[in-house]
Amino acid sequence: MDKIKHFYGVDISKSFFDVVDQGGKHNQFSNDLKGFKSFLKAIQKDSLIVMEATGYYHYRLAQYLYEKGITVSVVNPLSVKRFIQMKLSKVKTDKSDAKAICEYAQATEVPLYTARNAVQAECLQLLSLQDLYLKQRTAVKNKIHGEKALGIPSKTVSRSLNRMLKQLEKELTQIETKLESLVKETQKDQLEQLTSIPGMGKKTAMLLIVLTDGFTSFENARQLCCYSGLTPTIRQSGTSVRGRSRISKVGNRKLRNLLFMCSFTACRTNRACRKLYERIVEKGKSKKLALIAVCNKLLKQAFAIAKSGTYYQENYMSKLA
């Protein structure tokens, strides 16, 4: 980072991306290979390109620049949003967002982007497709239920919906099988170590490995908990505002939901989680709050195991905060 002399903030969307440099110069390029090449020609040496994580839209540009030897950083959109709010900015355009990202990069030590390998990229694509099919399956199930509520459902409609549901179930099974195969190809030992944690299911372990790049994307367990959206937010101001603390819900919803399901099993089979749950409930706190604390405990255990490369040890894990 000491060699960086030029900063570029990038606000990217489906068709275009806006770029603002540290001098305030603004340019817009098409979000395709032609636009990437044009942008590359405009970049000065010793530059840092900073963009927000925006799903598929940022991925291609980040990969392209990285492969061309350009220093890239992909930052959390929430961090940039908070930075803009701190500046009390009331202007919201693609240009202003790109400028804010550039200013954020100059004011903060941003993480450097590391290109994903072919396996990691495919896993992320599979997860995205899995999410799509899960939503479609829910919609089809709701439609089937709605048709039955009519009393005399159309046989043609019912057969079509059931065929679609069966096909979606088949596709989801194939995706899960392929995901497991890919994870075992590169992180077999880590998968086995994570599933040795009582209460940690295989689906949750695989998702953690894929989303964290084998736990290399986070420096500590607290960062991982924040990423999962399981850390509390305090709503308190002066003597009049005393809102209930809630989890931030910022981050991967799928991971959060899977961890919450794991927490029920962990309360029965994981000694450290059970003690934590009982201690919180005994204090008069809600059971839901206790389960969220168990989710955080599971993440801390997973992080400790992934970093140490060992299997679950009850005595050691019981000492984790």
User: Does pLDDT of 207 surpass 70?
Assistant: yes
Distances (CA, A) of 203 to 34, 116, 208, 255: 39, 21, 9, 9
> How confident is the model over 207-223, as a mean pLDDT?
84
Here the contacts of 131-134 (C-beta below 8 Å, separation 24 or greater) are 131/254, 133/168, 133/171, 133/172, 133/175, 134/172
pLDDT at residue 211, as a whole number:
85
pLDDT at residue 241, as a whole number:
40
Alpha helices in the chain (DSSP H): 33-42, 56-67, 77-86, 94-107, 118-149, 155-194, 202-211, 221-227, 253-269, 271-282, 287-308, 314-317
Q: What is the three-class DSSP state of 210?
A: helix
Q: Give the residues across from 27 on adjacent strands.
A: 19
Q: Which of 208, 217, 191, 223 is nearest to 259 (CA)?
A: 208
> How confident is the model over 44-54, as a mean pLDDT?
86
**Average pLDDT in the chain:** 85
Please tell me whether the overall predicted TM-score, pTM, comes out greater than 0.75 for this model.
Answer: no
User: Does pLDDT of 239 surpass 70?
Assistant: no
pLDDT per residue as tens digits for the range 19-29: 999 999 999 99
Q: Which residues contact 151 (CB under 8 A, 6 or more apart)?
A: none
> How confident is the model over 257-266, as a mean pLDDT?
94
At residue 13 the predicted structure's pLDDT band, cuts being 50, 70 and 90, is confident
Local structure of residue 17 (DSSP, 8 states): E
pLDDT per residue as tens digits for the range 87-118: 666 556 768 888 889 998 888 888 888 777 77
